[in-house]
Every structure is written in C-alpha cells, then in structure tokens.
Structure 1
Amino acid sequence: MKLAQRHFIIVTLLTIITSLILVALLYFAMPIYYNQQRRHELKDNFNYVVTKLHGQSDADILANIETYDLGRPDLLYSLFDGEGQRLWPNKSLKPDDLANHPNYDSLSTYDEVGSWSTTVTSREGNSYILLAEYGFKNLSQVSQSLVTMYPFVVILIVVLALIVGAVYTRMSTGRIALISETARKMQSLEDGIECQVVGRDEISVLAQDLNSLYSKLLSSIEELKFENEQTQRREREKSEFLRMASHELKTPIASMLGLVEGMIYNVGEFKDHDLYLKKCRDILQDQSELVRSILDATNVEIAVRERETTFQIDELLQGSMASYNALAILNHYKFSPILMPSQVTGDQVLVGKALKNIIDNAFRYSRPGGKISIICKQGTFIVDNEVNCILPEEEIEKLFLPFYRPDYSRTKQDGGTGIGLYLVKNVLDKHGFAYSFRAVNETTMRFQIDFEH
C-alpha cells in the first residue's frame, strides 16, 4: 500500500472514531453537566434570597418574599413562622399572580425537582422557615430527539472524515512526492537541481539533507574527475619519463658496449685497455649518478608521506656551508650566505636534496668571479647568482622537465644529468611550497621558495 493511501485510511478512521466519541460524550455527559449547572444556578438564587431576607423586619420579610417568589417561575418559595403556620403563599394571593407562578399548581411537569430549607431571623428576633422547591426541564428529551438524527450525523461525520483525510493526505504526501520526483532528476547528476524546502518540519529537513547530500556528491564527483585527470597526467608523465630515461641510458650504454667490444677484439687504439677501462668506469659512474637521481625523483611522493617532520632549514644547510665556501674560493666566486632560523614541516632528506640541488646549480652555472648569495629567513629561501646568459622565460619552463639541459650546458663537462631541477620541482610540488625561477636583472638569476604558501 502506498503512503498516500495509508495516510488517507488512517486519517479518515481517526476522524470518524474521534467524531463518534465526541458525539457519544455529548449524548451522555451534556445532560449531566446541564442539570448540575441549572441546580447550581437555582441554589445560588436561593442563597441570595436568604441573605437578603435575613435581618429584615417582619413586615419587610413578608413583603419581599412575594417579590422573590413571583420573580422566578422555576423556584417556589414558602415561608412559615416558628409554629409551622404558612405565611406565604397565603389565601389572599390573586389569580393573576398564580398564573405567573405555574409551580403553585404542581411541580410534576418538570423533569428535575427538589427543595432546600433554612431558618431566617428577623430584626425583631422572630424566626421563620424558608422553603424553596425547584424544578426544571433537563436535556434528556433533547438527547432522545438527537437519536433519531444520528444516522444523518454519522453520514455527515463520514463525509467530513473523507474530506479531511483527502486534504491531509495531499498536504502530507505532496511534498514527499515532490522530493521523490526531484531525487529521480538528481540521477542525471546535473547542476542546479535541488528539492524545494518549505517550512521547518521533518520533511523540510529531509529536503535540506537531500540537497546537501547531492551537493557533496557533485563535489565528490568533481574531485574524482580531477583526481582521475591528475592520475592520467601522472601516468603520462611517468611514461614520458621512462621513455626519456631509457633514451638517456641507451646512448652511454651503447657507447660503453662499443668500447668493451673494441677492447675484446683489440681493434686499433682500443688495445690500450687501461685507458678505455677508465673511460668505461667514468661512463658507469655518470650513469650510476643518473640512476640515483632517477630513483630520488620517482620516490618523492612515497617519502613525503612517510617521513614528514618539522625541522630548521638553517641548521640543515649549515653543515654544507664549509664545502660551498671552499668551492667559492676555488672558483673565485663572491659567496655570501645569510642563514636565519626558519622552520619547515616536510621530509627533511628530500627538502635538503632540493635545496642543495638549487645551490649546486647556482655554483655550476655562475659566471667566473660572479656573485652567489643565499638568504634563508622565516618562510623564505632565496638563491641569487650572476650568470653569463640570462635565460628567457620559455627556456626556464623547460628546465624543470626531466633530462632537459640548455644547449650551452651540453658542451660543458659539468653540465649535469638534467634530473636536478625535475627533482626540485617534484619535492616542492609534493610539499605544496610556492617557488619561482626568474631573472631579477640583466646578470642575475633568482630561485625563490616561499614555504608558508
């Protein structure tokens, strides 16, 4: 059974049962309540007359009892003296007065009859007995007459119950049906769909919760799409990285194989095994360094998650300053490090490698006798170095690609592996540090890292 049908049946039955109970209570309780109220009203009138007559003179008592008696057709007052002689009503009562007081003939025409009596004392000290007989019509006859109308009353109750049930069902289930229809539209996962929130009851709370759930679902889908795109991008980068790595390894390996074969067959100058074995060793050392750089670059993400700590950058770099000072003296560089306390949270090993790669590049590509400065302060790390050639912006962007080396560095013996800045980029990106590499003037390049961004 659907919710609307169930609500209709329940509300209709409850309305019918409640209405019948009320009618039954009216039938049985109303006459009792009415009789009690009428009796209480007549008793109040009797007490009022007693209060008024008490303490009056004998003549006033006899005069006023007539007024009080004839003023209430449902109360019959009788006054007796101390010896039991009736003083009111007396034989001198006129026929017209009797007509105004039907109870003088008989109280049997009333459904409820009763009496009260008390003693009234006059001003002169005489005692009188005041008797009040009452009578009134109760609602029994009215209730009996209603019985004949009960079939019509029941039909009216049923009709009203059906109307109330239909209206309530429409009101209570209409919003639920609207929420259900909106929920079906939400299956399309389109933006701008939301349930209408009316009122502050449980149904409106349900609509709000559904809107919130749908909003979070769309946000989660967008995040999943973004993560999927990022994953695909990383997969493409990995594939490209492996392709370039294999290309970088292929040439030296082929070269070394040629040297080894020449030595095996003693071809020409390759008979000098000592010379070419040293060259093979040099090639292997270069490739070993390249492989270590590749491993460092590919293990950045795992290391950041597992070894995150809080450390001081100035303390991390302080131990390397002696070797950099010696290198600066050897190459006639003007080296000025300024290391102030600077705290960072991340992988200490990888951040240290990234910072040293940046400093190494500054020493490797600075012009002879050029200035190299390092500034480390809270939240910022800056390396400036004077170079022979200022790199254009399009060239700077390529420096962070794996195995990329500027044309001028390929001819130098210390041109590098092309992995250093790629490793730096990965480390800084994984830590969420903002960084930039740009020219600050016609002779100086600057690498800046903002750790607090």
Structure 2
Amino acid sequence: MKKRKLFPKTFLYTFSLMMVIVAVSHLLIYILLPTVYNYRQRNELESDIERLCEDIEDMEDSGRLSLVTQFAGKWNADIVVKYDGYTYEMNLLNAGGSEPADIHGNMENVDVIAEKTDGRIKISLSQNPKGKTDFFYGERIFSGEKGYVKTTVSRQQIEDAVSTVIMILPVTAFVCTIVSIVFALLYSHMITKPIKQISDVTKQMQELSSGAYCEVHTHDEIETLADNVNRMYDSLIKTIHDLEQEIHKVEEMEVQKTNLLRSASHELKTPVTAVNAMLENMILDVGKYKDHSVYLPKCKMLMEQLSVMIKEILDASKAERTDMEDDEEIDLSELVEQIAEPYRMIAKSKGICIKTDISKQFMITYPVSMIKKVISNLLSNTVSYTSKGGTIRIYLDGEKLIFENDCVPIPSEYLKHIFEPFYRPDDSRDRNTGGNGLGLYIVDTILKTLQISYSFTAMENDSGMRFMIEL
C-alpha cells in the first residue's frame, strides 16, 4: 500500500474536522434560531403586558391612553384595555391590512399552536386563519376583575429575521469553507515543516554525514524530539569514533605482539642454539668441549640470560594490559628516590653520578606497578649507556618528568626505531652491555597504554639524550 505523505494527510484531517464544525454550527443555527428567538419575544411580551397592567392601575384616567399607545407602537399590535368602566383600544396591526382575529372575542375560530400561562397572563402562539403570519395573542385580567388587557402581536419581524439568517447561511458556509482551507493549509505547513526537516536530517545522519544537525525552534515536543535526535547522533558519532580508535589501537597492539613474537623467537633462538650445541659437544666429548668445567658455566650463564629475556618478554606482554591493577595516588618524588637507590650503587661502580631534583611533593594517579616499571627501565637504560664519569639528571619541569644522561647522542636514523623490540642501534649497544633491546619497548608500550605523552631526543649541545614524560 502506497504511503500518503504527511502534509496532505494533515491537511485532509484538519480540513475535515473544521468542515464538521462548520456544518454542525450552521445546522444548530438553522434549528435553534427560530425557537430561541420565539422564546425571547414571548417572554418580553409577557413582561411588557405585566408592566402595562401595573402602570394602568397606578395611573389616572387621563394618562392610560398614552400607555396603551406606547405599547401598541412598540409592538405594532392591536390592543384592547378595559379597566374600571373605561375601554382603550389601538389597532396598529390592522393598519397593515392583516386582521388575524377578532381580539374582542374568545378566539374560538383560531388554532392555538402553543400556550403559556401563569394564572394571570396567558400568551398563545396562534395560527393566522387567513394563512398569513402567525401571531402572539396575550390576555391579562386585572386584579379584582376590574378589567382585562387583550392584545394581538404579529410574528412577522421574527419570521423576517429568521428568513434573513437562513438566507445568508449558504454564504457563511462558503466563507467558512474558504477560511477552513486556508487555515488547514497554514496549520499543516506549520506542523509538517519541522517534521520534514527532521526527516531530511535523519537521512543525512543515516549516511553518517558530518555536520548533520536538526535545527528546529518550535518550543514544543517537536523541538524536544529534534534535540534528542541531535544528542543521539552526537553520541553515535562519538561511539563510532571511539570504536575506530579502539580498533586502531587493537590493530597496533596486534602488530606489536606479532613483531614482539617474531623478534623474540629470533632472539631466543641464538642462546638456545648455543647452549644446545655446547651440551651436545660435551656429551660427545668433541675437542675442547671435553673440558666440562669451562663450558658448563657458560651454558649456565646463557640460560640465565635466557631467563632474564623471557621475564622481560612477559613483562612486555603485560605492559599492554591496564586491567591488572587499579589507579592509585602516587607521590612521584618519593617513588623516584625509592627506585633510584639500587641504581646509585651500580652507577657509582662505573663512575657515574645520579642527581635527582624532585624535592617537592608531586602527586599523580596511575597504576603503581606500571609507573615503577617505566622509571626502572629508564634508569636501567641511562645507567647502561651513560659514558664513564658522566652524569644522570632526573628532575621535574612543571608537570614534566625529565631524564637526562651524558652519552653519545643516538643518530636520528636510529632514533625512529629505538622503541622497536630487541632493537639495538649499533655495536656498542648489545646484550653484552646488559641490554637486550626490550627496555624502551616496554616503556613505550606502558606510556601509550596509559595515554601519557613523551619524547626522546638529543640534548641541545649534543652532550647526551633527554627522555621527557608529560604527566
């Protein structure tokens, strides 16, 4: 089934509702107007007759005729008043050439359509025997039966007014129809315009278009809907962005793991092959390998190096995980002094001086074990590669923790690979100096996992290297 668009649907519903209201209101006018108008006229006639009788009773003989004349003139009526032996008569209704009935008689030849009496005044709606306009007949007996008032009032004015209103009903119905069409068009446009805007923008959002935004200012539930759509889209874009970053991060981690495993397999293969060859030759008593007392300690030394390397490989694999430990508040000055203490003895034996300048308390919030590993690996790296008699400086510059050591600066072509696993830039930086190429890789992995920025550059005067951590 074909879907009808919102604008014509809203227009049809609105126009139909307004036409129902117009039709019902005109029908009520057509039905109720004659009845209501007739009721009001009858009540007013009754009040005037009652007031006339009261005034006649209070008035002297000379003034009663003027009261009768005023009543007849107001109602354009025939009236006969008989009171205290005097008769007052005025025939304005007959002057029009229409004599509905003999008001001096008892109206026996007149058909009464409706009659109302309260015991004193009787008002009858009577049919004109001559077939013309119906009339009101009123009769009132004075107190003490001193006389009576009889009057006949034509309903011609009522019927003229009703006929006029009924005659203009088609015109008003047509005008109301035109107004209903215009109003329905304006209302439908006002209602559907913001909804169409939301529909168009959500199509752009469906395609994840950048800058898609529902700008609706109706100050009602439609504006609330637009705001909710905008917030939902912003949340969706943010979630997609976070997922893309997470996917990119996972891809980088997978690449690092692959590189680590590839490099680890190569690095582990060398000592394992060497130990296996020496043990096999010793078992076969081949040549110099008959001297077990020389080569067994070498095998032990290689196995110890292998054990250290395996431990650091495991540390490197754990460095990517932040779910192992919760964040804690750490006093950095105290932690650096604590970690630096054992390295001072190693440095002293090599003629290297370690200077720390973190006297003031500096609090950070990170996993303690991971921060310890970073500081320990950086200290180990600086002690291993600082020139004999050189100096290692550790200090704070604002919110930056800086490690500087006196050494031959690493060339820029080597520096971009320095954080790769098992990478050693030159012959002077091999495992015989105590390093296996995993220290800076672990530092890089931990800092990236904790989203901490850092830099590793040569010092300005080429006197050494500087590692700067922005906490």
Please indicate the TM-score interval, normalised by the length of the shorter structure.
0.7 to 0.9
- Whole-angstrom distance in 2 between the partners of 1:332 and 1:190: 63
SS in 2 for 1:341: coil
Which residues of structure 1 form unaligned runs of 5+?
A: 121-126
**1:390–1:7 distance in 2 versus 1, CA, 3 Å:** closer
Q: How big is the shift at 1:282?
A: 1.3
What's the offset of the Cα at 1:407?
0.9
Letter of the 2:36 partner, please give it: Y
Counterpart residue number, 2:326: 308
- Select the residue among 436, 444, 447 that pairs with 2:467: 447
Work out the number of aligned pairs and report it.
Answer: 434
CA change 1:118–1:405 in 2 (3 A) is farther
Q: Deviations over 1:234-264 (max 9, x none)?
A: 3222222211111111222222222222322
What's 1:111 paired with? 134
Deviation for aligned residue 1:352: 0.5
Whether the 8 Å contact between 1:12 and 1:164 is mirrored in structure 2 is: no
1:240 maps to a residue whose letter is: N
- Aligned counterpart, 1:124: none
In structure 2, the residue matched to 1:99 is 95
Q: 2:159 and 2:58 mapped to 1: Cα distance?
A: 41
Q: Name the CA shift for 1:388/1:57 in 2 (closer, same or farther; >3 Å).
A: same
Instruction: Report the counterpart of residue 365 of structure 1 in structure 2.
Output: 385
Give 1:14-413 correspondences, 5 Å limit.
18-39=21-42, 42=45, 59=62, 61-62=63-64, 64-65=66-67, 68-76=70-78, 79-81=81-83, 83-86=84-87, 88-89=88-89, 99=95, 108=128, 110-115=133-138, 134-137=153-156, 188-191=207-210, 199=218, 209=228, 213=232, 216-302=235-321, 304-312=322-330, 313-337=332-356, 338-375=358-395, 379-385=399-405, 387-410=406-429, 413=432
Displacement, 1:355?
0.9
* C-alpha distance in structure 2 between counterparts of 1:178 and 1:441, whole Å: 59
Question: Do the aligned partners of 1:16 and 1:161 also contact (CA within 8 Å) in 2?
Answer: no
Change (3 A) 1:391 1:199: same
Q: Match of 1:308, SS?
A: coil
Cα 1:327–1:219 shift into 2, 3 Å: closer
Give the Å deviation of 1:420. 0.7
CA contact (8 A) 2:402 2:469 kept: yes
Change (3 A) 1:118 1:193: farther
Which runs of 5 or more structure 2 residues have no equivalent in the other structure?
Answer: 104-127
Structure 2 distance, partners of 1:258, 1:55, is: 151
1:437 to 456, 459, 469: 456
CA contact 2:452–2:470 (8 Å) conserved in 1: yes
Give me the whole-angstrom Cα distance separating, in 1, the residues matched to 2:457 and 2:52: 114
The 1-side partners of 2:71 and 2:372 are apart by 118
Aligned-partner Cα distance in 1 for 2:329–2:10: 67
310 and 227 in structure 1: CA distance in 2 versus 1, 3 angstrom threshold: closer
Change in Cα spacing, 1:219 to 1:319, as seen in structure 2 (3 Å) is closer
Hey, what does 1:123 align to over in structure 2?
Answer: none
State the SS of the aligned residue for 1:382.
Answer: strand
Distance 2:428 2:247 in 1: 37
Cα contact 2:344–2:353 (8 A) shared by 1: no
* Greater relative contact order (CA < 8 Å, ≥ 6 in sequence): 1
1:272-314 C-alpha deviation (Å, 9 max, x unpaired): 2122111111111112111111111111232x22312213233
Q: In structure 2, what is the Cα distance between the partners aligned to 1:434 and 1:11?
A: 63
8 Å Cα contact 2:313-2:438 kept in structure 1: yes
Give the structure-2-normalised TM-score.
0.72
Alpha-carbon distance change, 184 to 97 in structure 1, aligned in 2, over 3 angstroms: closer
> Which range is displaced more, 253-262 or 49-58?
49-58
Residue 4 in structure 1 maps to residue 4 in structure 2:
yes
> What TM-score do you get using the length of structure 1 for normalisation?
0.74
Does the 8 Å CA contact 2:458/2:464 hold for their aligned counterparts?
yes
Please tell me the root mean square deviation across aligned C-alpha atoms, in Å: 4.8
The amino acid of 1:282's aligned partner reads M
Summarize deviations over 1:121-159 as a string: whole Å, max 9, x none.
xxxxxx998776544248679989999999x99x989x9
Provide the C-alpha distance between the structure 1 equivalents of 2:139 and 2:359, rounded to a whole number of angstroms.
114
- Aligned-residue offset at 1:221: 4.0
Report deviation, 1:361. 1.7
Question: Structure 2 vs 1, CA of residues 52 and 364 (structure 1 numbering), >3 Å: closer, same or farther?
Answer: farther
* Cα distance between partner residues in 1 of 2:79 and 2:412: 122
Q: Which moved more, 1:330-339 or 1:136-145?
A: 136-145
For residue 250 of structure 1, give the secondary structure of its aligned residue in structure 2: helix
Output the CA distance in 1 between the equivalents of 2:421 and 2:56.
123
